[in-house]
Amino acid sequence: MRNFRIQRIIILVFFLLFLFSCTPKLWYAGSPEVTKWEIEVAALEQLHVSENEQAVLMTGSSSIRLWDSISRDMLPYQVISRAYGGSRLGDFRHYVHRIVTPNKAGAIFIFLANDITGDYRDISPRTVLKYFKSTIRSIREVHQATPIFWIEVTPTPARWHVWPEISRASELIEDYCNSTENLYFIKTREYFLNGNKEPDIRLFADDKLHLNEEGYRIWSRCIKQDLDKHTGYLRIMQ
């Protein structure tokens, strides 16, 4: 009888440990931080689904969404843009199966810059890395051999006060990319800093957060350099 009670206690302990390990993830998936993007994500689902295995799929947050000249700036690559609002890795990883998975592509790009902004919702650099790995695993469930590129978070005037934390998260992601096949880190910071090693305000919009036209031109050159290096065969005929 005593052994039976012990067995029941052990089973109960393991069940509780399992429940506690799963609950945070399940709770986050249904939290306002995730569900507030439902309308925007649903709108993306209504767009044409790419069957073009030569296309470059650009995903992420508002810096991608607001890039009005992306098709022109990214020539000779054909681009499909699928980005929403002020997305973070925390919510983006829950929408990957709806944004990335349905589309065929020759390369996938991700830019998300809202996980460390200086407010109460910030996560640590190591948590950024954890969410990044989770995102990549989800993409790999379908796009098993497609090259994936992470675009480094830009040093912006608006968030310069938390640049040390942003920079640390970027370093962790870069190390992971360098040790993982078909996963690439695109460095951009040096192109957006002035002679004093501070953000060059001439490259940013009035909000000091998003890029202006010249900033996007520079960004596209950075991105295409890595595309040419790793997936130049995706260039379209001109």
What predicted TM-score, i.e. pTM, was given to this entire model? Answer: 0.86
Residue 14, pLDDT > 90, answer no
Q: What is the mean pLDDT of the chain?
A: 89
Q: Average the pLDDT over 9-17 and give the result.
A: 47
Total number of residues shown for the chain: 238
Which whole-number Å values give the CA distances from 126 to 116, 138, 179, 194, in the listed order?
Answer: 11, 19, 17, 28
Residue 25, pLDDT > 70, answer no
pLDDT score recorded for residue 18: 43
Closest CA to 97 of 29, 163, 157: 29
Rounded distance between C-alpha atoms, residue 122 and residue 125, angstroms: 9
Residue 13: pLDDT band with limits 50, 70, 90 = very low
Residue 20, pLDDT > 50, answer no
pLDDT score recorded for residue 10: 53
Residue 27, pLDDT > 50, answer no
Q: Average the pLDDT over 208-218 and give the result.
A: 97
pLDDT score recorded for residue 34: 85
Within 13 Å and on the Cβ side, how many CA atoms surround 35? 7
Q: Average the pLDDT over 151-160 and give the result.
A: 98
pLDDT score recorded for residue 23: 40
Residue 47, pLDDT > 90, answer yes
pLDDT score recorded for residue 3: 54
76's tokens: 């000779």
The β-bridge partners of 184 are 149
pLDDT score recorded for residue 49: 93
Residue 15, pLDDT > 90, answer no
pLDDT score recorded for residue 236: 82
Rounded distance between C-alpha atoms, residue 199 and residue 234, angstroms: 32
Task: Report yes or no: 82 and 45 within 8 Å, Cβ to Cβ.
Answer: no
pLDDT score recorded for residue 140: 97
Percentage of the residues of the chain whose pLDDT score is greater than 90? 82
Rounded distance between C-alpha atoms, residue 109 and residue 26, angstroms: 27
pLDDT digits 0-9 by tens, 104-131: 999 999 999 999 999 999 999 999 999 9
